[in-house]
Chains A and B, each alone.
Chain A
Amino acid sequence: MVNNKKGSHRGDSSHLIVDSCQSYPIKITSVSTLACATFSESSTTTSKALQALTSAALVLPGLLLTPAHASDADRINFQFSRYQEGKRDLFGVPNNLKPITADVLHGSGIFSLTDRTKFNFSYTQDTWSGATPITISPLAANGNRPILGNTATGITTVGASPIINNSQVLLDRDLNPLRQDSQNHQLMNKDPRSVMVLSSASPETRNQANFGLSREWNEAALNVSGGFSRERDYKSNFGNVSGRLDFNQKLTSVKFGSGYTSSNISAILDHDASPYITKTAFSRQIESRGGSEILQGNRHDWTGNLGLTQVLTKNALLEANIGYTHSNGYMENPYKVMTVIFVDPAVLNNNQTTPITGDMRALLEQRPNVRNQVAINTKYIQYVSAFDAALHLGYRLSTDDWGINTHTFDANWVQPIGSGWTLTPRIRYYSQDAAGFYNPYLFSQQTYRRNEVDSLGRQIWIDAKNPNIQYVRDSSFNLIDQNGNLVNEALLNVQPKTASFDAGKLPGNFSSDHRLAGFGALSGGVTLNKMIMKGVALEAGFEYYTRASSMQLGSGGRNGFADFDYYVANAALKLDLESTNLSMPGRNLSQHQDSPTHHQHKAPPAGIMFGHMLDKPGDFMVGYRFMHSWTNGNMMHGAHKVNDQTIVDQGCDTTLCRFTPTYMNMRMHMLDIMYAPAKWWNIMLMPTFMDMDMNLRTLAGRPAPVPGVHEHQGIAGHETGAVGDTMISSLVKLIDIPGHRVHMSLGLSAPTGKVDLQLRRLFQIDGGLIHFGMQLGSGTWDFMPNLTYAGEYNRWSWGAQVNGIKRMENQNKSGYRLGDVFQATTWGGYDLTRWLTASVRGAYTVQGAIHRDFNSFNARIGPMDFPANYGGQFWDIGLGLNAIIPGGRFAGNRFSFEWVQPVRNDFNGFQLERKGALSATWSYRF
């Protein structure tokens, strides 16, 4: 209970005291106990009162119902959140890079296994894209421009930034950067300003899952949980144990917890930047594979915390926690570099006053390998009876051995405003000191590379073809070997022997990550909650956050270049399963147990959408639908395999193809929210969230690379993901006679999925729009009609559906439109047991090719970039299982799975083979 587990959302939410009721508590003052029943304001019937008394009696043995138990009612949450940053200020440098956006999908649930044991899980997927700062440089150096570096094999210049061809900065003798007029190159004043150097990023996706088990006793609780987080470049596994002990009739609670996280970093270094970045400090951690350089690292985090919650009065309580974290290993950000300006000391100290030239280089940042952090927070909560509201005041102090001290103050006002609404405005102020090793950029008084000399002061020369043999020159500039013999220079490729800078003259640790700088931040927001029916609540939150160097406590103002702002908006659906069961006596568990299928028709296979309707007015259903489809293996043309040369010659319209996909996987998460206003009419809302990944290979026989033309490089594939299109549908019952039902659904798909996702710039070449198939939606308003027939007799069930997608616009904002779709499918099912049904399904699908084309740059490197290579005719077989949980705590939950196996494909143009798709659904009717 100590942790507010990322995702599991049980956390501290109400651990203290008694029961926290959804509506108003009733007090039963006998035997010094109190109980709350889930009362709704309007329904104070006798049976309700009886129910309340019964539940009061049930808790008598424990005297006080443990709070965590009460609040951790079985429930499911779905949440979508968007993080959007504002543009960074580049002080006049043109910035056409999109700021960072992150879309987060979250689902979590808690289920009782026994009276006192609960299982909880959560799943979070986030996808981010946009421009991220990789370093900071003097503005006078023309801001967004190159970064430089030396590698184990030699020195090079880094260019992750839009401008790469200038790595020099003019300095005065006090090392102040000097601004030069861009037109006439006249020197102007000194310019101490710094600027962030931004680099765009292709979309990346992270998945995290947590699982936990918790056990409640009368005056204690224990929770064990673990999970993992997966990104392409960062994998971590974690586990923790936490617990709670109650004292003093639950007026005092002590909480404790301990956890461990192990992380593996495997970062593919930026292709653009890598050749220019000095990576010598990490050369033993860098591995080359498939044309990419991969920086490997490990990191371990141990945490512990201890907390106390104390009731002060009948209207106030206080909480205090202390947490300690010890981390070791690779704690750098592998994509951040430090700008180091090398100044030749011989020039600097030559007693002249003319400006000198600084040699700007980029070095991978170096942080300490150990970090110890301590944080303490206190929270005071006061009930304000005049408003029936609660004021929450919080303060947190944290400190660590990197020199970062932070202060956080926050205040919430939680105000119920009647009719199930709660409004919570909130404000927060945060301030942090800079890490001791933070610097916007560094100076080093040495040359980045220097010519080596021997013990006699003579410059050393080497033969490029045989660098181990050293030569020097005699007084006549003739090349002589180490034995003093003259060498015929014409036979050699003679070069000066050079040495890299002395890393010992640099600080041991350095970073210009602006998150380690000193700054202050002010944020404010509001949360709105609405209980729409018993057990079903909607929640929306908004927060605006602004960071400013000048707001740092006690000092500040020097890092204004890193100021930025962001907003976060989120929406959540919260389902309280226990509350719904309790509050609907007519739909309690025993009825489900009696005949789970009696008043609910048999469900169609998992791959069928809009396949059933709710039968009773006022019924409400929430479902989750997951689909994973795989394409990989051979490239096909029509129904046949093709070889690389054919693809090169014919796959890319009038040009020659250079790449072809090796695989593409698509995962789709869909929320089904269904409501029956009338027996004959249902409405349905289906938001989708999707993510995709693919990789490419070079085609055999492809034309040679042309300078300035986008090439796919290295081993990394592409990822995209975020909100897909949102479907709204209206279902109308046409026929409903025993054993036969027909309904029609008229749906609309709103273009909420992005169709203008771009690949990042590589090698100073724009990646352009990512392939059609990797965009997240259709981009057009689509009409989705369907007609479904379902029949059943004894243990048999069957059905058929025809459906289509008609694009209602000629083109989307990126200039193209997807082909229309028509599908016909039929299925048969047999009840293996009372609760399990097996099904077989056949489906025929035809989809048109893409119309028109991208209206802005797309790299057109392979068949997936050409509209003619989309769509086709497909014949599939589906094998499915449907289950409805017949009894017990989870009665009424439905699960279904279906594997769809392609039998015959006839592709338009050149496409990757379809390997199949898995559909899985869960639904629950309230």
Chain B
Amino acid sequence: MRIRKIITGIFMLTLSIGLSGCVSVAAWERGNLAKPQMALDPHPLQSTVRMHNYGSREAAASTHSAEGGGGCGCY
């Protein structure tokens, strides 16, 4: 139950930051944000490989779980 509280807490915090709208970064100030190294996932091919391996070796749930598929991972 403690974990549930933490989850809710973190999410609400994030949400409030996001919806506050207090952040203002003008379009011409976004040059750094636009760089490839700032992409949310700079190496998607690598992420896929890793996620598949972690998924077959660990029991954690994923926030990417809507992706589906993946098969048994029976090994």
Total contacting residues, chain B, CB less than 8 A: 62
Say whether A390 contacts B38, CB under 8 Å.
Answer: yes
Judge if A890 is at the interface, Cβ distance under 8 Å: no
Contacts of A12 in B (CB 8 A): 40-41, 44
Contact A233 B72 (CB under 8 A): yes
CA distance A397 to B4 in the complex (A): 10
Please indicate the chain A residues that have their CB under 8 angstroms from the CB of B31 in the complex. Answer: 25, 27, 34, 314
Give the contacts of A854-875 with B (CB-CB under 8 A): none
Digit string of A381-424 for contact with B (CB within 8 Å is 1, else 0)?
Answer: 10101001110100011111010111010001011100000101
Per-residue CB proximity of B59-75 to A under 8 Å, as 1/0? 11111111111111011
Is B68 a contact of A432 with CB atoms below 8 Å?
no
A434 to chain B, nearest CB (A): 9
A100 to B75, CA, bound (A): 8
Contacts of A239 in B (CB 8 A): 68
Which A residues, 210 to 229, have Cβ-Cβ distances below 8 Å to chain B?
210, 226-229
Residues from chain B with Cβ under 8 Å of A233 in the complex = 72, 74
* A408 to B58 alpha-carbon distance, docked (Å): 11
Q: Is A911 an interface residue (CB 8 A)?
A: no
Distance of A404 from chain B, by nearest CB (Å): 5
User: Contact mask A232-255 → B, CB, 8 Å, 1/0?
Assistant: 011010111010000011011000
Taking A3-B64, A104-B49, A396-B60 as given, write out 20 further A-B residue pairs in contact, using a Cβ cutoff of 8 Å, ordered by the A residue number: A4-B47, A12-B40, A13-B44, A17-B34, A18-B30, A20-B39, A25-B34, A34-B34, A71-B39, A77-B45, A201-B75, A318-B17, A318-B18, A323-B63, A325-B61, A376-B7, A422-B37, A430-B58, A432-B59, A539-B46
What 0/1 readout, one digit per residue, does chain B (19-61) give for beta carbons within 8 Å of chain A? 1010111111111111111111111111111111110011111
Given A17-B34, A208-B71, A11 contacting B63 (CB threshold 8 A) = no
Cβ–Cβ contact A325 & B65, under 8 A: yes
Q: List 18 A-B contacts (CB under 8 A).
A: A3-B64, A16-B39, A18-B33, A34-B30, A77-B45, A79-B49, A227-B69, A238-B67, A252-B19, A303-B68, A314-B30, A320-B10, A320-B11, A325-B65, A404-B60, A412-B42, A422-B36, A432-B58
Q: Assess whether B11 is in contact with A314, with CB atoms less than 8 Å apart.
A: no
Task: Determine whether the beta carbon of B66 is less than 8 Å from that of A323.
Answer: yes
- Asked if A58 CB lies within 8 Å of chain B CBs, one says no
Once bound together, how far apart are the Cα atoms of A404 and B21, in whole Å? 36
Q: Does A781 reach chain B (CB closer than 8 Å)?
A: no
> B25 contacts which chain A residues (CB < 8 A)?
251, 311, 313-314
Q: Let me know if A462 is at the binding interface, CB within 8 A.
A: no
Q: Across the interface, which residues of A come within 8 angstroms of B60, CB to CB?
A: 375, 396, 398, 404, 406, 408, 430, 432
Selected contact of A229 from candidates B32, B51, B70, CB within 8 Å: B70
Residue of B44, B63, B74 touching A335 (CB-CB under 8 A)? B74
- A515 and B58 within 8 A (CB): yes
CB-CB nearest in chain A for B9: A376
Given A231-B72, A323-B64, verify A6-B51 contact (CB < 8 Å). Answer: yes
A231 and B71 contacting across the interface, CB-CB below 8 Å? yes
Q: Is A729 an interface residue (CB 8 A)?
A: no
A286 to B30, CA, bound (A): 60
- The CA-CA distance from A128 to B74 in the complex, in Å, is 10
Q: Name the residue among B26, B45, B59 with the largest chain A CB count within 10 angstroms.
A: B59
- Is B67 within 8 A of A240, CB to CB? yes
Task: Determine the chain A residues whose CB is within 8 A of the CB of B19 once the complex forms.
Answer: 252
**Are B61 and A323 closer than 8 Å at their CB atoms?**
yes
CB pair B34 A19 closer than 8 Å: yes
Shortest CB distance A518–B (Å):
10
Contact mask A508-532 → B, CB, 8 Å, 1/0?
0000000110000100000101000
* CB of A246 to closest CB in B, whole Å: 12
In the complex, the chain B residue whose C-beta lies closest to that of A23 is: B36
Q: Closest Cβ of chain A: how far from B10's Cβ, in Å?
A: 6
- The answer to whether B40 and A16 have CB atoms under 8 Å apart is yes
User: What class of interface size applies to chain A in its complex with B?
Assistant: 35 or more
Kindly provide the distance from the CB of A226 to the nearest chain B CB, expressed in whole angstroms: 8
B33 touches A81 (CB 8 A): no
Considering the chains assembled together, what is the distance between the CA atoms of A704 and B33 in angstroms?
Answer: 73
Check if A314 sits within 8 Å of B49, measured CB to CB: no
Kindly state the separation between the CA atoms of A33 and B69 in the bound complex, as whole angstroms: 40
| Alpha-carbon separation in the docked complex, A313 to B52 (Å) | 33
| B71–A229 CB distance below 8 A | yes
B73 CB to nearest A CB, Å: 9
B39 contacts A323, C-beta separation under 8 Å: no
Q: Do the beta carbons of A400 and B61 come within 8 Å of each other? A: yes
Max chain B CB contacts within 10 Å: which of A4, A22, A34, A432? Answer: A4
| B-binding segment of A568-576, A692-700, A795-803 | A568-576
- Residues of A within 8 Å of B54, CB to CB, are 430
**In the complex, what distance in Å separates the CA atom of A309 from the CA atom of B48?**
20
Decide if A17 touches B43 in the complex (CB within 8 Å): no
A227, A432, A541: the one within 8 Å of B46 (CB) = A541
Which of B30, B47, B50, B59 is close to A11, meaning CB atoms less than 8 Å apart?
Answer: B47
- CA–CA, A16 to B40, complex, Å? 8
* Residues of the B chain whose Cβ atoms lie less than 8 Å from the Cβ of A680: none
Separation of A379 and B42 alpha carbons in the complex (Å): 13
CA distance A374 to B6 in the complex (A): 12
Shortest Cβ distance from B7 into A: residue? A376
Q: A305 within 8 Å of B by Cβ? A: yes
Q: Which of B34, B42, B44 has the most CB of A within 10 A?
A: B34
Instruction: List, in ascending order, chain A residues with CB within 8 A of B10's CB.
Output: 320, 376, 378, 397
Known A19-B34, A236-B71: A4·B64 in contact at CB below 8 Å: yes
Q: In the complex, which residues of chain B have a beta carbon less than 8 angstroms from the beta carbon of A405?
A: 3
Give the complex CA separation of A717 and B75 in angstroms: 18
Selecting from A256-264, A497-505, A670-678, the interface stretch reads: A256-264
Flag if A399 contacts B3 (CB, 8 Å). Answer: yes
- Complex CA–CA separation, A406 to B60 (angstroms): 6
Report chain A residues within 8 Å CB of B23: 248, 251, 310-313
- Given A242-B66, A303-B65 in contact, is the A311-B33 Cβ separation under 8 Å? yes
A13–B68 CB distance below 8 A: no
Bound CA span A623–B43, Å = 23
Closest CB-CB distance, B54 to chain A, in whole Å? 7
Q: Look across to chain A and name the residue whose beta carbon is closest to the beta carbon of B25.
A: A314
A206 and B75 alpha carbons, distance in the complex (Å)? 12
Q: State whether the Cβ of A55 lies closer than 8 Å to any Cβ in chain B.
A: no
Complex-state Cα separation, A236 to B67, whole angstroms: 12
In the assembled complex, A109 has its CB within 8 A of some CB on chain B: no
Please report the C-alpha to C-alpha distance between residue A250 and residue B52 in the assembled complex, in whole angstroms: 31
Complex CA gap A21/B3 in Å reads: 40
Known contacts A2-B66, A539-B45; is A376 also within 8 Å of B11 by CB? yes
Q: Which of A13, A83, A333, A435 has the most CB of B within 10 A?
A: A13
Are B34 and A240 in contact (CB-based, < 8 A)? no
Once A17-B30, A227-B68, A317-B33 are accepted as A-B contacts, the answer to whether A566 and B17 lie under 8 Å apart by CB is: no
Chain B residue with Cβ nearest A569: B49
Return chain A residues, CB-CB under 8 Å to B57.
515, 521, 545, 547, 566
Contact (A259, B65) CB under 8 Å given A6-B52, A102-B75, A234-B72: yes
